[in-house]
Amino acid sequence: MARGILVVVSGFSGAGKGTLMKRLLEKYDDYALSISVTTRPPREGEQDGREYFFRTHEEFERLIREDALIEYAQYVGNYYGTPQAYVEEQLGSGRDVILEIEIQGALKVKEKLADTLLLFVTPPSAQELKKRLEIRGTETPESVRSRLARANEEAQGILSYDYLLVNDDLETCVDVMHHVIQSEHHRMQRNHGSVQKIVQELKAL
Amino acid sequence: MARGILVVVSGFSGAGKGTLMKRLLEKYDDYALSISVTTRPPREGEQDGREYFFRTHEEFERLIREDALIEYAQYVGNYYGTPQAYVEEQLGSGRDVILEIEIQGALKVKEKLADTLLLFVTPPSAQELKKRLEIRGTETPESVRSRLARANEEAQGILSYDYLLVNDDLETCVDVMHHVIQSEHHRMQRNHGSVQKIVQELKAL
């Protein structure tokens, strides 16, 4: 069985990543979501091993020391990270694993696991991005400005991604994402084994 | 409008390239077949500009001198080549152009036009390749052996291709080919312009 692909999805805040990935997992059976480990306490209804793996600060720092995380970051006093064991287990069983993280984390993952597929999701235009952030209603004008400023900074890292997905229409974008990932399984770099096999067979005929 | 992609398809003799590409063009409207130029005389029913562009030896050699061919080769005393003007015209109008040539030609095209997409088609196994060549009935045992020997030699070039397509089931393989090409339109290298545009827009907000 072919090994799964680790797919990292990033995108501007307001690009609709959350909805996109929810719909991808609903619509197609091929994917597992990576589950992050965190030191933040579980919220009501959250379950260890489903939303997150919940760990203490000490446990998390042991994971760091043991190099058991593909990447990790601190955010508002808590650690968040991607446990390598869970990802490896899913990939080994042939499932593609989807991991949603921001640009800096994504580039670290790619450095560590070179055959990671990096997808960047963007709304069709900056105007559309601003509109979506404002529509949420939960954002103050200042926080919209600060998110846009951040998007602006992040823009430099985007060119390191493998694919750019424009989220104009949700269903279209979900299908494109699915086909991009499935096509990646046919990349020559991922199929050196099959080529060597058929060449050996030809020699034996 | 986005520029089309030049797609070069190669594969072992007996891999079913011909049927595959015929079906791809029937099933999807996105593609134009590249039309080769040749010095061999037209056969009955063949029409200039449809099956081939038919030219004299002198005309062909002028095309070579004028660097008007993406690649060319000689075969049984005749020239065969790919006219750059026709391909450029189709790509410029946003259509993906499919070009079926053998490995040496494919690698020359990639050298000349770096953003060419190279697809290699193989039957599921060497045994299946041998069976298909024998079933044709038009092949003597010697010619089957010689084709297999050639496949064996060519195997070295395969790793330079971008994708490996295993032609096990025709309809599946046609769909995979379509999705691989369509996904390629979303590759980051082909979308630097869109990224720069949205970054400029963000700065202007």
Give counts: helices (H), strands (E), chain B: 8, 9
**Does residue A5 contact residue A188 with C-beta atoms inside 8 Å?**
no
Q: How far is A51 from chain B (nearest CA, A)?
A: 31
Contact A183/B176, CB-based, under 8 Å?
Answer: yes
Q: Residue A89 above 90 pLDDT?
A: yes
Q: Which of A186, A202, A203 shows the shortest C-beta gap to B164?
A: A186
Cα B8-A120-A1 angle, rounded to 5 deg: 60
Q: Which of A182, A201, A205 shows the shortest C-beta gap to B179?
A: A182
Contacts of A55 (CB under 8 A, 6+ apart): A37, A38, A39, A63
Q: Does A155 touch chain B (CB under 8 A)?
A: yes
Best of A20, A181, A198, A205 to mutate (most B CBs within 10 Å, chain B)? A198
Average pLDDT over residues B179-198: 94
Q: Residue A44 above 90 pLDDT?
A: yes
Which among A13-17, B169-173, B190-194 has the top mean pLDDT?
Answer: B169-173
Provide, as residue numbers in chain B, all residues whose Cβ is less than 8 Å from the Cβ of A160.
Answer: 188
Q: Does B159 touch chain A (CB under 8 A)?
A: yes
Helix (H/G/I), strand (E/B), else coil: B53: strand
Q: Does B129 touch chain A (CB under 8 A)?
A: yes
For residue A178, the model assigns a pLDDT of: 98
Domain covering B6-204, topology: Rossmann fold (3.40.50)
Contact A163/B204, CB-based, under 8 Å?
Answer: no
Average pLDDT over residues B152-181: 92
Task: Please write the tens of the pLDDT for every residue from B84-131.
Answer: 999 999 999 999 999 999 898 999 999 999 999 999 999 888 788 778
Q: Residue A146 above 80 pLDDT?
A: no
Do strands B96-100 and B6-11 pair parallel, antiparallel, or not at all (unpaired)?
A: parallel
Q: Does B1 touch chain A (CB under 8 A)?
A: no
Q: How far is B23 from chain A (nearest CA, A)?
A: 19
Q: Does B146 touch chain A (CB under 8 A)?
A: no
Alpha carbon B195 to its chain's center = 29
Residues in a beta bridge with A118: A8
For residue B43, the model assigns a pLDDT of: 93
Q: Residue A129 above 90 pLDDT?
A: no
What would the CATH number be for the domain defined by A6-34+96-204? Answer: 3.40.50.300
Cβ count near A2 (within 10 Å): 10
Contacts of A152 (CB under 8 A, 6+ apart): B199, B202, B203
Q: Is the pTM of this model over 0.95?
A: no
Do strands B117-122 and B69-75 pair parallel, antiparallel, or not at all (unpaired)?
A: unpaired
Q: Does A146 touch chain B (CB under 8 A)?
A: no
Q: How far is A180 from chain B (nearest CA, A)?
A: 5
At residue A106 the predicted structure's pLDDT band, cuts being 50, 70 and 90, is very high
The proportion of chain A whose per-residue pLDDT surpasses 70, expressed as a percent, equals 98
Residue with structure tokens 């790619």? A110
